[in-house]
Amino acid sequence: MLSGKKLRVAVLVSGGGTNLQAILDACADGTIRHAELVLVVSNNPGAYALTRARRAGVPALVLCRRELGGQECFERELDRVLRENRVDLIVLAGFMTILSKDFTDRYEHRIINIHPSLIPSFCGKDYYGLRVHEAALARGVKLTGATVHYVNEIPDGGEILLQKAVEVFPDDTPESLQRRVMEQAEWILLPRAIELIASKSICTEN
C-alpha cells in the first residue's frame, strides 16, 4: 500500500472545508505524523476548501461532474489523478457526491468518510448537512456525535472506524448542534482516523 515513508492522502471536498482545515492543522502541529496531504479535489469550483488547501501549499484541483460528462467520466478522471499522485488513502470531508460501487470496490478500505451523527442513527443518502442535526433534534436524542467509517457502495454503510458522542442541549438549534458536533467530534476524529490508519500501515510495512 505504501509508496514512501508517509501515507499519501487525498482529501475530497465540496464546501467550506473546516474538516480539511482540521487535517491541515493536524499535519502542521504533528498530530498527524505518518501521513502527508498530497492532493485536494473539489467537485465544486466555488468551494472555500480550495482556498484553504492552496493557502497551505497543497495542490488543489476541481473536477466538475457535469463538465466532465457525468459520473462515469468523473470517476475515471478522479481515478487518474489519484493514481498520478500515488494516493494511498482517500478522505471524504464534506464531499457531496456518492461514489459508485465500481469505484468504492476498486479502493476497498482505502476511502474513509466523516458523518455528523452516531451511525446507524440519522445516516444514509437523505442525511447530509443540517438535515442530520434537524433529524436528531426532531427525534429528541440527548446524545449525538460523529462517525468515521470506511466507504463502500452504501451511503454511510461501510465499516465503522471511530465514533465520538456529543451532548444535545435543550435549547439547541440545528446550527448550534452542528457547530458543537464539529468542534467536539469531527475535527478531532478525522485527523485521529488518518493517523491511526497511517501509523498501522507504516508499522505493517516496516
Query: Per CB under 6 A, which region of 2-10, 12-20, 150-158, 196-204 contacts ligand GRF?
Result: 12-20
Which residue's CB is nearer to ligand GRF, number 187 or number 201?
187
Among residues 116, 145, 158, 191, the one that binds ligand GRF under rule CB under 6 A: 116
* Residue 163 sits in the site that holds ligand GRF (CB under 6 A): no
Task: Report whether the peptide linkage leading into residue 120 is cis, meaning its omega lies within 30 degrees of zero.
Answer: yes
Measured from the CB atom, the residue of 49 and 198 that comes closer to ligand GRF is 49
SS3 of 54, please? helix
Question: What contacts 88, CB < 8 A, 6 or more positions away?
Answer: 1, 2, 3, 7, 8, 9, 110, 201
Counting contacts by CB under 6 A, is residue 186 touching ligand GRF?
yes
Query: Scanning residues 20 to 79, which ones bind ligand GRF (CB under 6 A)?
Result: 49
How far apart (Å, rounded) are the C-alpha atoms in residues 178 and 186? 10
Which range, of 50-58, 62-70, 76-84, 112-120, touches ligand GRF by CB under 6 A? 112-120
Is residue 19 involved in binding ligand GRF (CB under 6 A)?
A: yes
Distance CA 94, CA 108 (A): 20
6, 41, 106, 135, 140 from 196: Cα distances, Å: 12, 22, 22, 31, 33
Does 115 qualify as catalytic in the annotation?
yes
Contacting residues toward ligand GRF, per CB under 6 A = 15-19, 49, 93-94, 114-116, 186
